Structure 1
């Protein structure tokens, strides 16, 4: 029984610590600049145009080009947008605290 408890405690510790160790140590920006916001809107409009296209009438090369363009748009949007990430361990701790304190 002690081995199982030891294993589970190590597993929970690794689940809580590993995502924080892999995260980038860059300072978070408060809000995107107006230029970045305008570029994000342009990317969003292009994605909407691509979703409205009829892919059945396209040949294989055209589909491949659009797929690559969408990947590039996704990468650029992630770089511009940033985001907030919560590890699984932190989420579990928050849920436990909410359950205990209510």
Structure 2
């Protein structure tokens, strides 16, 4: 019982530490400038739109299969072009815990 209360007390004390960076500071107001889309990304997006607007009822099954393969490749290239933010599960858990503790 003594060990349990000791560990609980240490846990509570470690969770109540206040970071010094919590003080109010002047925030920089970001200017909202539209980001330019790279040319190769724009061509891939245009090709996806062309494929979506295409009349696929007149195509053969092999042609449809090629289009599906092309769409998958384009989407894969768009994902790997570095336009996203990827967080691991561990990072998400840590962020959630920090938000719970700070709020």
TM (norm. structure 1) is 0.56
Name 1:100's counterpart in structure 2: 101
Structure 2, unpaired ranges of 5+: 1-35
What is the correspondence of 1:1-102 to structure 2 with a 5 Å cutoff?
Answer: 37-102=38-103
Based on CA coordinates, which of the two structures has the bigger radius of gyration?
A: 2
Provide the rounded CA distance (Å) in 1 between the counterparts of 2:92 and 2:45.
30
Structure 1, unpaired ranges of 5+: 1-33
Structure 1 residue runs of 4+, over 3 Å off? none
Greater RCO structure (CA 8 Å; 6+ sep): 1
Provide the rounded CA distance (Å) in 1 between the counterparts of 2:101 and 2:81.
38
Name 1:22's counterpart in structure 2: none
Provide the aligned length of Structure 1 versus Structure 2: 68
Q: CA deviation at 1:93?
A: 1.5
- Cα RMSD after superposing both structures: 2.0
Q: Which moved more, 1:67-76 or 1:86-95?
A: 67-76
TM (norm. structure 2) is 0.56
Secondary structure of the residue that 2:81 maps to in structure 1?
A: helix
| Distance of aligned partners of 1:88 and 1:74 in 2 relative to their CA distance in 1, 3 Å threshold | same
